[in-house]
Amino acid sequence: MPLTIGTNSGALWASAAITSHQRGAETAMARLASGKRINSAADDPAGVAIASRLNSEIRGTSQAIRNALDGQALIDTAEGGHKEVENILQRMREIAVQAANDTNSSQDRANLNEEMKALSTEIDRIAAATSWAGKNLMNEGSSQFSFQVGTSTNAESAITISIGSMSATALSLDHTSITVTSSENSRFAISAIDQAITSVNSQRSMLGATSNRLNYAVNNLTNVSTNLVAALGRIQDADYAAEITALAKHQILQKAAIAMLAQANASKSYVLTLLRSLN
């Protein structure tokens, strides 16, 4: 092997090894400091894309859970209004049954009719006042709500509900339609109120079923979110045992490379010994 001074291959190899181990040590330290295996796209180009997609799904799923819970709160608000309307209807039926009895005088029935009017007006007030975020839930017409409980745009990612009007007019119970001023009118009122109670209970049942459906949706979304977070952690979280081992390895090898660089540089001193022999 020729003895030269122009090119020190050993020193070049040692210098390259020092640089390589320095980068490896820096990467391990960055992972240990951040707790993340992927701190830049260069660490894992494919992993960065997968982690970004999973993160998007996780954030979307978390918002979908909040959407479902908000939907349940809306339904609970509407159901509370239906419950009070049903309580009023029960009282109206009680009055109608009382007024149907001929032991009541005309004045008695007139007094009972005034309470019927007041209760009918209260039904209208509750229907008009029950709202969510400025949108009425029980007034004239049918209110439709769509709850986004998924992260995509397909039909399966939304739960839709229609809430019908619970006003006295919609229930055919406005004070011009039913009265208890006579025994015959009172019996007609009983029949009309029974139909109204059936309508209210039917819609309350639908609201309860939808609320339960949203509850199951929240449970499923929570399970999905948990698994997505676990998958994301496996991709981007640093393995401290492995990174500490890698750091120690690179530090030891870097010290060894530095020592070899010193040896490689010192090896060229033999040329000086030969040159001195010329004297």
pLDDT in tens, 49-77: 998 899 999 999 999 999 999 999 999 99
pLDDT at 237 over 90: no
Residue 235: which of 25, 49, 26, 29 has the closest Cα? 49
Question: Taking the CA of residue 215 as centre, how many other CA atoms within 13 Å lie in the half-sphere pointing to its CB?
Answer: 8
Amino acid at 139: N
The CATH number of the domain covering residues in 51-235: 1.20.1330.10
| pLDDT level of residue 195 (50, 70, 90 thresholds) | very high
pLDDT for 6: 60
146 DSSP β-pair partners: 160
For 225-229, 241-245, 265-269, which range has the lowest pLDDT when averaged over its residues? 265-269
Q: Please give the full DSSP string across the chain, using - where no structure is assigned.
A: ----SS--HHHHHHHHHHHHHHHHHHHHHHHHHHSBS-SSGGG-HHHHHHHHHHHHHHHHHHHHHHHHHHHHHHHHHHHHHHHHHHHHHHHHHHHHHHHTSTTS-HHHHHHHHHHHHHHHHHHHHHHHH-EETTEESSSSSEEEEEEE-SSSSSGGGEEEEEEE--STTTTT--TTT---SSHHHHHHHHHHHHHHHHHHHHHHHHHHHHHHHHHHHHHHHHHHHHHHHHHHHHHHB--HHHHHHHHHHHHHHHHHHHHHHHHHHHHTHHHHHHHHTT-
Q: Tell me the per-residue pLDDT of 110-156, one tens digit each, with 9 for 90 and over.
A: 999 999 999 999 999 999 999 988 888 888 777 889 999 988 888 88
pLDDT tens sequence across 170-181? 998 987 888 999
Cα dist from 246 to 16, 31, 42, 92, 254, whole Å: 18, 11, 18, 80, 12
Is it the case that residue 200 has pLDDT exceeding 80?
yes
What integer best gives the mean pLDDT of the chain? 88
Predicted pLDDT at 25 = 85
Share of the chain above pLDDT 70, in %: 93
> What's the number of CA atoms in the CB half-sphere (13 Å) around residue 204?
15
Does 5 have pLDDT greater than 70?
no
pLDDT of residue 153: 87
Rounded to 5 degrees, φ, ψ at 139 are -85, -165
Local confidence band at 279 (pLDDT 50, 70, 90 cut-offs)? low
